[in-house]
Structure 1
Amino acid sequence: MARMHTRRRGTSGSDKPAADDPPEWSDVDEDEIEQRVVELADQGHDPSQIGMKLRDEGVTGTPVPDVKLATGKKITEILEENDAKADLPEDLRNLMERAIRLREHVQENGQDYQNKRALQNTESKVRRLVKYYRGDQLAPEFTYSYETAKELLEPDSR
């Protein structure tokens, strides 16, 4: 989303190496990986955090460089199969949390025009993502507002 609100180019990043099968040094059983993914999700970790933990810590001490290569399924697919999926997609949740923080900041600091613009841009991204997910992972009549986001992201709803 680098060029969405500015004329700047995005930051370049590295690409994953093209591989069809997991490396031989990472010979962890698929069922153990799936159990660990569900366990980490129950502890409250997001799918991206689960992937990093499996990469760094692994399962029983053996790192898992890529869950999809090892199991044939993405982390979100594993979570859906085991009914451990979050109520909101991770990217939408993160943007809503940012929008809430920005709105609270702007309410306290009314002259902060830079963050007013950041709030407008963030809420625009949220609305765009809601439109993308509506009907599939969100209710067809779901619309974004500060109040609904605040209600959805209460600490006990996670």
Structure 2
Amino acid sequence: MARMHTRRRGSSGSDKPVADEPPEWSDVDEADIEERVVELAEQGHDPSIIGMKLRDEGVKGTPIPDVKLATGRKITEILDAHDAGADLPEDLRSLMQRAIRLREHMQENPQDHQNKRSLQNTESKIRRLVGYYRGDALDEDFTYSYDVAVELLEE
């Protein structure tokens, strides 16, 4: 599939190995994994960072290669069950942060046409994601604007 804002093709990525059960060397209790996930979320980490920390650091010294195989639930599902999930989805939050940085850069450097185009593309991606999340993770009448993004990310 082609990339969204260029004429290039996307680079192929590697596939995850097919596995039905966690490896026998990673035999950590599900409750301990969930406790560590909630602890990392309370420290302010996003779900992708939590997954990397569990892969690298593990729980009680034992790495967790795949949280979903070990617990049967994704990291976001665990966070929602413990009411520790973020109010905005991670991908939308990171795009909004990028748009805010680009907008502030454009205010200081109005002749930077390359970043002006990048800001337009980023805000286009945000509007597409808002349409996807509207009604589920966002309100039905939510519309993106710079001021709304700044207000949401200050919380």
TM class by smaller structure:
over 0.9
5+ residue gaps in structure 2? Answer: none
Aligned match of 1:68: 68
For 2:123 and 2:17, locate their aligned partners in 1 and report how far apart those are by CA, in whole Å: 34
The 3-state SS of whatever aligns with 2:80 is helix
Aligned match of 1:111: 111
For 2:2 and 2:40, locate their aligned partners in 1 and report how far apart those are by CA, in whole Å: 31
For 2:141 and 2:6, locate their aligned partners in 1 and report how far apart those are by CA, in whole Å: 31
For 1:125 and 1:110, locate their aligned partners in 2 and report how far apart those are by CA, in whole Å: 22
Deviates further, 63-72 or 5-14: 5-14
Aligned match of 1:3: 3
Percent of paired sites with the same residue: 80
Q: How far did 1:15 drift?
A: 1.1
Matched, 1:128 2:128: yes
The 3-state SS of whatever aligns with 1:153 is helix
For 2:153 and 2:137, locate their aligned partners in 1 and report how far apart those are by CA, in whole Å: 16
Q: How far did 1:2 drift?
A: 5.8
TM-score normalised over the length of structure 2: 0.98
Aligned residue identity for 1:19 = A
Q: How far did 1:9 drift?
A: 1.4
TM-score normalised over the length of structure 1: 0.96
Aligned match of 2:84: 84
Aligned match of 1:48: 48
Q: How far did 1:70 drift?
A: 0.2
Aligned match of 2:13: 13
Q: How far did 1:12 drift?
A: 2.4
Q: Runs (4+) of structure 1 moved beyond 4 Å? A: none
5+ residue gaps in structure 1? Answer: none
Aligned residue identity for 1:62 = T
| Aligned length, in residue pairs | 155
